[in-house]
Copies of this chain bind each other. A is one copy, B any other.
Amino acid sequence: MPKTQKLHLHLESSRKRAPLFHLTEEKWAAAAKRHRALAKNLHVTIGWDGDIIDDALKTTDVMINSNPPRENLRGRAPKLKWIQTTGAGVDGLMPMEWLPDDVTLTNNSGAHGDKAEDSCTMGLLMLNARMPEVLTNQRERRWAPIFSTPIEGKTAVVIGFGDLGQAAGRAAKKLGVNVIAVTRSGKPTKPADFVYPVTRIDRALPKADFVIVTTPLTAQTRGLMNRERLALLEPHAGFMNIGRSPIVDYAALTQMLAKGELSGAVLDVFDQEPLPADSPLWTTPNLVVMPHISCDDPRYIDQLFDTWFANLERYLAGRKLKNIVDRKLGY
């Protein structure tokens, strides 16, 4: 097959992101070896921070890139048909007017479940044992035994019940914790015991011993956990966010933590990442700061490539791709 008939795949990374997320020559070579037959159809270029992007776009058919160039994309990339993001959340790409109508956008939803399940199991147990308070006490060299009952039989409210939310649900069920999911539709979904539509979220929140926020950031979820909704939680409740920070009013949350109006919180996502050294969040009482690690496996890019090759097989066969992002809903 002559080279010109191959698909041109362009891989683009930012050195500013953690090395875990870099689409390196080495990781690509290993993936191409695992998917040798499919890889034969590809001509591949690898760019960093836009160093070769203008040239590459001229002939690119398919791109893997978490932050695709948006200005005049159709003009610069006349052949582009498909963009794959390395992450699951595409809130940073909204609104999607920049995306040509005939370009398909797929995300990496589904890659985060196993790790997220571990993190949610840990987070639920840490909140139940009031570890955010125990760790605040350690920071202040204060011995203060805090005793808590076993977690079995308590209730977690999981906000959003996609890939991450279902992982949170599995984590809870494994511990004998009841699961109330809050979703757009409110339709029954395993492994939730009850599902509330988001229109009735105010009825779910007072039942929570624990809340885990897992939704993508969309126009509908931005500010969902505002001050009024946080105030619906019991003072003994614990709070965890592995979704996106603008879903939750962190100013209200940290005030509640400081006043003892919530028992503790574990946050993995922040408005500004890296969290600046002078952020007050580092020392907010009863708050555990995790540096956006709860859903990512170090084998992340290997898994991304494997998932992408499975989608490439569908693409070449003219079948519908998996993980297509709805450009209006934003996930």
Is the pair B125, A291 in contact by a Cβ cutoff of 8 Å? no
Is the pair A291, B137 in contact by a Cβ cutoff of 8 Å? yes
Q: How far is the CA of A196 from the CA of B298 in the complex (A)?
A: 33
Q: How far is the CA of A152 from the CA of B289 in the complex (A)?
A: 24
Whether A141 sits at the interface, judged by CB under 8 Å, is yes
Q: How far is the CA of A119 from the CA of B291 in the complex (A)?
A: 23
Residues of B within 8 A of A152 (CB): 114
- Decide yes or no: A126 and B126 within 8 Å by CB, A141-B277, A143-B291, A289-B138 being known contacts: yes
Q: Which of A101-118 contact B (CB under 8 A)?
A: 114-115, 117-118
Nearest CB in chain B: distance from A6 CB, A: 33
Is the pair B175, A145 in contact by a Cβ cutoff of 8 Å? no
Residues of A within 8 A of B (CB): 18, 20, 114-115, 117-119, 121-122, 125-126, 128-129, 131, 134-135, 137-139, 141-152, 174-175, 273-275, 277-279, 282-283, 288-293, 296-300
Q: How far is the CA of A148 from the CA of B151 in the complex (A)?
A: 25
Identity of the chain B residue whose Cβ is nearest the Cβ of A124 in the assembled complex: B122
9 A-B pairs within 8 Å (CB atoms) are namely: A141-B277, A141-B278, A141-B279, A141-B282, A143-B291, A147-B293, A148-B293, A149-B299, A150-B297
Contact of A118 among B128, B135, B288 (CB under 8 A): B128
Residues of B within 8 A of A292 (CB): 145
Is the pair B275, A143 in contact by a Cβ cutoff of 8 Å? yes
Contact of A121 among B121, B135, B291 (CB under 8 A): B121
Is the pair A145, B20 in contact by a Cβ cutoff of 8 Å? yes
Which residue, of A122, A128, A278, A283, has the highest number of chain B Cβ atoms within 10 A?
A122
Is the pair B128, A125 in contact by a Cβ cutoff of 8 Å? no
Residues of B within 8 A of A149 (CB): 115, 297-299
Residues of B within 8 A of A144 (CB): 291
